[in-house]
Amino acid sequence: MDIVAALTITMTVFFYAPEAGGINGDLIMADGTEARIGYCSCGPRYPFGTVFELLVDMRPFGMPQTYECRDRGGKIGNYTLDLVIRTGDLKEDLRIAREWGKRRVAVRVWQNWEHYVAGQAERDASPSATEEGGYAPALPHR
């Protein structure tokens, strides 16, 4: 049985449209998967596979409540999420991204214990989240 840990924190959340180009406009995320709705970039504190549940109504944007970390970004800190928006209509993607803008929202973070343990070395090597001016939450130890 998987042990799941959850915590709720406030994060800054953006949308990005991979088709619009950018540094890595090839649509392939850092873990090798193709970018799609439901995936996001997250800070190094969280291993790939971590699930982020936005505790805000996403229905007006036609977007899901949960996103799985599959990517990193140079400006993505431990309290930042960059959500993939890829509806198949670039103009619509950009419209939604502009309408959403940058928001600070409550986010529930779900981690599989095995993912947490596997990602510990990566988190230990990363700068402390407190350097970003926030509280660095730690998941419970066994």
Q: Is residue 5 part of a domain?
A: no
Q: Is residue 3 part of a domain?
A: no
Cα separation, 54 vs 68, in Å, equals 11
Cα separation, 68 vs 85, in Å, equals 13
Domain span holding position 19: 11-124
The residues, ordered by sequence, that sit 6+ positions from 7 with a Cβ below 8 Å of its Cβ are 108, 109, 137, 139
Instruction: Report the CATH number that the domain containing residue 38 is assigned in CATH.
Output: 2.40.40.10
Q: Is residue 62 part of a domain?
A: yes
Please report the pLDDT score of residue 18 as a whole number: 76
Span 4-19, average pLDDT: 87
Q: Is residue 138 part of a domain?
A: no
Q: Are 16 and 93 in contact (CB under 8 A)?
A: no
How many domains does one find in the chain?
1
Q: Is residue 78 part of a domain?
A: yes
| Spatial CA neighbour of 5 closest among 115, 122, 105, 132 | 115
Q: Which residue has the tokens 């953006």?
A: 14
> Considering the entire predicted model, what is its pTM?
0.74
Q: pLDDT above 90 covers what percent of the chain?
A: 57
Q: Is residue 69 part of a domain?
A: yes
Q: Is residue 134 part of a domain?
A: no
Q: Is residue 17 part of a domain?
A: yes
Please report the pLDDT score of residue 139 as a whole number: 39
Please report the pLDDT score of residue 66 as a whole number: 94
